[in-house]
Structure 1
């Protein structure tokens, strides 16, 4: 369990850094050039590491559902949307929204057992956890400004 928590923390920090780097690339290049660069470099790095650590076994993809082959296409949407979101909202706010959305959909996917996941009952604890995270975004975004003021709501 501790290793899983540690890996989750590392992944979260890497996603945060990657998104900031992606937005900096996007300041100098178009969104599609940024997406191509990011995913192209990711492909080359993954291919290289996969060949080093797995060799020919890297290409053995037996018994995989057809729709899973399209996960790379989903990555295009992720990078494109985050680059644009960070450009319009700033890194912290865009990533807060992305993580909240990710959590909400993960809870839904687990609760309904979608995409081959084991069905996990939706509990009051899950609901309260999601609400606390959403409330945290509002607290962060309002940043001490009066609720209902134009400047607090328009940012």
Structure 2
């Protein structure tokens, strides 16, 4: 497979895994009666998995200079991730996985083009064009039709 197709295929696979992961966490939440312990289990399993990879590959931790020079906003990613997991675990059983993902993906698309347009958080700038705005509108329209 050409590298040009490999990355989009990997992205599609990751995208397909998100509602599966959310459904699995929601199932635990329903059984256990809260969203907090299933989320704690999810992050514990994730920590163990990435810890295994780091040890198996012999990856050294970053030095103090690298850690101290990292942008402070980068550490907000953990807060955003745990909020995302908690909220989708809470929302999906009540509104359906498809509808929950519809709103999440719509928010992701809008935020992504804004981040690209302004080059926020160190990403490459990709300015809004009528092509890009039309594409986003078509994606949101498609998502809207798919949620019913």
**TM tier, shorter chain?**
0.7 to 0.9
> How much does 1:122 deviate?
0.4
> How much does 1:16 deviate?
2.2
- The answer for the alignment partner of 1:7 in structure 2 is 10
The structure whose RCO (Cα within 8 Å, separation 6+) is larger is: 2
- The answer for the alignment partner of 1:25 in structure 2 is 28
2:55 counterpart (51, 55, 75): 51
- The answer for the alignment partner of 1:42 in structure 2 is 46
* Matched positions, count: 140
Q: Does structure 2 conserve the Cα–Cα contact (< 8 Å) formed by 1:100 and 1:134?
A: yes
> How much does 1:118 deviate?
1.5
Q: Does residue 120 in structure 1 map to residue 120 in structure 2?
A: no
Runs of 4+ in 1 over 4 A off after TM superposition: none
- The answer for the alignment partner of 1:86 in structure 2 is 92
| Cα distance in 2 between the residues matched to 1:95 and 1:50 | 31
> How much does 1:73 deviate?
1.7
CA-atom RMSD in angstroms: 1.6
Q: Structure 2-normalised TM-score?
A: 0.86
Distance 1:138 1:71, change over 3 A: closer
Unaligned runs of 5+ in 2: none
Q: Does structure 2 conserve the Cα–Cα contact (< 8 Å) formed by 1:100 and 1:130?
A: no
| Cα distance in 1 between the residues matched to 2:19 and 2:36 | 20
> How much does 1:26 deviate?
1.1
- The answer for the alignment partner of 1:141 in structure 2 is 147
1:130 counterpart (127, 136, 144): 136
